[in-house]
Structure formats: structure tokens, C-alpha cells
Structure 1
Amino acid sequence: MSHITENVGRILATVPDGVLVVAAIKGRSADEVREVVDAGIHFLGANYVSDGRLARQAAGQRAECHFIGRLRPHDVRPGTLSLFDMVQSVASHDIAARIDARSAVLGRITPVLIEVNSGREPQKDGVLPEDVPAFIDAVSGMEHLAVRGLMTMGPLSDNPGDYRPCFAETRRLYESMSAISHPRLTMRYLSMGMSASYRVAIDEGANMVRLGTILFEKQSSRQ
């Protein structure tokens, strides 16, 4: 059994029921992507459009492909948007409007998550927490886009505990937005946590985590 298969088995056995694992495939080969899917991963996370093409080449329709990186305006075209089952990183009204327009061309409604800049870091994309309600109200009127939850990265830190306040604030936002009734707003996914912080994220209510290193790299016996 390879280390990738072992890693996936260990993670899937330890995350709570109801928590979905997205494999972040940036920099990975087609063989590695196939292996995580064969091992039981049903969601692939693409940081770039090229990752989405790789995911479809390697896994076909055996796994959903979610865009999780910084989406640039010129990336939002029907031919590229069709690669993805969900866009997890909607961070501006312009990007939301482009997804809505291109989805209309495709004749589909695209599920999206709103990216929250929970650390209030100026170098990062994302909607500031206090602006999330108004932002969701604005984009929920778009006919070919459906808000399905929130995503956040949290601060850049080597200490997982530093993420907790940001994850907790995002979870509170998620809960408050869940009380809103709108046909194109269903708060289903709270996507928080990566390899170094996913345990804290799950503690704070995440039901989707985005993991890369901990799935694809050899892990020490302590992990």
C-alpha cells in the first residue's frame, strides 16, 4: 500500500461523519490524483484552471472538482467554468457576476461558496466578515449562481490555535446566514481548514476541509 492510500485511509477514518474531504491537487500528477480518488476521495480542489483540466483527465466524473484558488476575471469563461462543479472562492461582485453570465451561456446554475477574509489580511482576497450579509444579499439575486455556504483560509501561521478565532467568526456568520430564506441561498457547506489547521476547523464547525500535504506527502509516525 502506498503512502497516499495510507494517508487517505487514515484521514477518512478520523474525520467525523459529515465532514467532506477535498484533496487540494496543486502541483500533483495525474497518477497521484487517480490514487487519492481510488483511495476514497470524492472531491478534488483546483487552485488553477490547469488543475481542473488535470482532475478531469485523471478522474473523469468519479470525483467532483471544486475551484478553490484565486479566480481571475479572464479565467471565468464557459469552457473553463464547465470544468468545475463548484467555485469555493467567490470574493468579489465582479467575479460573481461573471460566473452568473457564463453559467447562463452553459444553461446551468453554478454552486458557489463566498470566500471570507476572516483574518482581515489586506494581501488576501475575500469578503470582510462584516460585509458578508450585504454581499450575499446582492449575489443571491443572480439567476445562474447559487450560494451554498462560506469558505475561509484563516491567517498565515504555524500555530493552529491562531486560526481558531477566525474559524469561530466564520462559523457564526454561517449560522446567521443559514436563517435566511431565499431560493438560491442554501447554507450547506462551511469550508475551513487545511493540512495544518483542519482539526481546529472541525472543532469550530467545518463540514468541509481542503487537504493537500497531509494526503499526498509521506507522514511521520507521530501524525
Structure 2
Amino acid sequence: MDSQTIARNIERVKATIADACRRSGRRPEDVRLIAVTKYVGIDTTRAVLDLGIEHIGENRVQEAVPKYDKLGSRGTWHFIGHLQSNKVKNVLGRFTYIHSLDRHSLAKEIQKRAAKRAMTVNCLLQVNVSGEKSKFGLAPSELVEFAKEVAEMSNIRIVGLMTMAPFVDNPEEVRPVFRELRSLRDQLYRLELPQVGKLELSMGMSNDYTVAIEEGATMVRLGSVLVGRES
């Protein structure tokens, strides 16, 4: 996709975000647009950065690392895909945020490697609100106990929650998924856990991000409506 097309897409998406914020009494600047570049190459990712998008989302380590190594000094990088424990070493130090912390073994690996590097890792806890077997994430009923455990790990900072809604033709059908994640966030606030401050809501993709914003999303992860697909 050429830069002019991407620029038009960005303007269209920003206008749509502003409309969704207006409907829900929010400010557009409170919604972070993450350009998901997992299906495009380095040149398109560079074009996105050149056009002023500051946040880049990738979900496959083996493809993300070469992009980061060329472009990582620009923007803020988010790892948004399922993360295997043996790939943690490749993600730390490259990605500012990990959106997919969803199990004890992964938390322990992040904590161990982050401690060795004397760094603190910003993590969002992934919750499988919809209960789809094809999706990763904690069950909502597991969230509180898991958050309590992670909050005791000094090199992990819980910065939010993430979910993926089912892909449906009518985004209104998944509004309850986003509403439930917001409710879970509010539940965590009431616990006043250590290492937990403001909590982001990473929810909403190309087909449903307007509904997600209306329900409180602070991060939306958009690929096809911005950059299309090259692979």
C-alpha cells in the first residue's frame, strides 16, 4: 500500500475515533491508535511511522525483531500476540508494552529475565472474555488471583487489560465483551494492588473499534483499515 493511501486511511480512522469519542463523552487524545503491522513489511511500517503514527503493534516475534532492529529507535512498540516463554528474551528491551500476559509460567519468565536486566516490563493481562476456545487469555474468574500474583513481581508493572472480541458482522454483538473488560478493570482498581496504577483497556480491532471506544478502550489495535495486508 502506498503512502498516500495509508495517509488517507489514517485520517479516516482518526475522524472515526473522534466521532466515537464524541458519542461517548470522551476525548480523542485519550485513545491510543496502535498500527498493527504484522502483515506488512519494513517499508510499509516505515511509511506508517513517517506519517506520524507513534505506536506500532506486532504479534510474531520472528517477523517483528527484524523490523524493530531497523526501525525500533522510532515510535513505541507493542507486542500484542501470544508470547511463548522461550521468546521472552527477544521481546524484552525491544517492546515497551506486552499486551498478552496470560499465564503463570510466562509471568515467571518475564520476571526472571527482567530482574537480570534490572528493568521493569509494562504488561497488560490478556483476558478471554468471550470464552472462545480459539483465543488465548485468562478466564475472567481467574483474573483477580492472577493479578495479585503478578503484582508481587517487582520487575513487572501491570498497566492494563487486553481482550479480543469474536469476529462478527455486526459489532454491536460484541459490545458486552468490551463492557465486561471495563468492569474487570474497575474490579482491579478496587483491590489497590502494588505495581498497579492507571490501567489501559486494549480492546477493539479494525471491525469493532468504534464500539470498543464507546465502552472505554484506551488502546485500539488496527491493521487492515490502516495498512492492509501484504502477506
**TM-score, normalised by the number of residues in structure 1:** 0.91
Aligned counterparts of 2:75 and 2:138: Cα–Cα separation in 1: 28
Q: State whether structure 2 residue 156 is matched by structure 1 residue 145.
A: yes
Tell me the residue number matched to 1:8: 10
SS where residue 53 of structure 1 aligns? helix
CA contact (8 A) 1:164 1:200 kept: yes
Between 1 and 2, higher relative CO (CA 8 Å, sep ≥ 6) is seen in 2
Structure 1 vs Structure 2 CA RMSD: 1.6
Partners of 2:146 and 2:194 lie apart in 1 by 16
SS of the equivalent of 1:45 reads: strand
Aligned partners of 1:73 and 1:98 also within 8 Å: yes
Whichever residue aligns with residue 87 of structure 2, its letter is D
Contact 1:24 1:44 in 2 (8 A): yes
| Deviation (angstroms), 1:58 | 4.3
CA distance in 1, matches of 2:76, 2:98: 11
Q: Deviations over 1:174-207 (max 9, x none)?
A: 1221233233112331000000010010011101
Q: Trace 1:185-200 onto structure 2 (pairs within 5 A).
A: 185-200=196-211
Q: Is the aligned partner of 1:103 residue 2:128? A: no
Q: Is the 8 A contact 2:167 2:207 kept in 1?
A: no
Question: Which residue of structure 2 aligns with residue 22 of structure 1?
Answer: 34
Which residue of the partner structure matches residue 23 of structure 2? none
Q: Which moved more, 1:149-158 or 1:206-215?
A: 149-158
Q: Structure 2 CA distance, aligned partners of 1:104 and 1:143?
A: 8
Alpha-carbon offset, residue 14 of structure 1: 3.6
Secondary structure of 2:226's aligned partner? helix
Distance 1:132 1:43 in 2: 27
Between Structure 1 and Structure 2, how many residues are aligned? Answer: 217
Instruction: Answer yes or no: is the 8 Å Cα contact 1:150–1:174 preserved in 2.
Output: yes
Distance (Å, rounded) in 2 between the aligned partners of 1:55 and 1:88: 18
* 2:124 paired with 1:113: yes
CA distance in 2, matches of 1:163, 1:55: 33
Percentage of pairs with the same residue: 36
1:29-48 aligned within 5 A:
29-48=41-60
Q: Supply the distance in 2 between the matched residues of 1:30 and 1:109 (Cα, whole angstroms).
A: 28
Amino acid at match of 2:85: P
Does 1:208 find its partner at 2:210?
A: no
Q: Is the 8 A contact 2:203 2:219 kept in 1?
A: yes
- Counterpart of 1:53 in structure 2 is 65
Other structure's SS at 1:179 match: helix
Give the whole-Å Cα distance in 1 for the aligned partners of 2:209 and 2:172.
11
Kindly indicate whether residue 74 of structure 2 is the aligned counterpart of residue 72 of structure 1: no
Deviation at 1:162, TM superposition (A): 2.0
SS at match of 2:190: coil
Gaps of 5+ in 2: 18-27
CA distance in 2, matches of 1:187, 1:151: 14
The residue aligned with 1:154 is: 165
Please list, as runs of the form range in 1=range in 2, the aligned pairs for 1:77-88 lying within 5 A after superposition.
77=89, 79-88=90-99
Instruction: For 2:74, give the aligned amino acid.
Output: R
Residue aligned with 1:178, SS: helix
The question of whether the paired residues in 1 share the 8 Å contact of 2:72 and 2:94 is answered with: no
2:195 maps to which of 178, 181, 184: 184
Structure 1 window deviating more from structure 2 (139-148 vs 12-21): it is 12-21
Q: Contact 1:9–1:39 at 8 Å: present in 2 too? A: no
SS at match of 2:135: coil
Unaligned regions of 5+ residues in structure 1, if any?
Answer: 219-223
Tell me how far apart the structure 2 counterparts of residues 189 and 59 of structure 1 sit (CA, whole Å): 25
> How far did 1:131 drift?
1.5
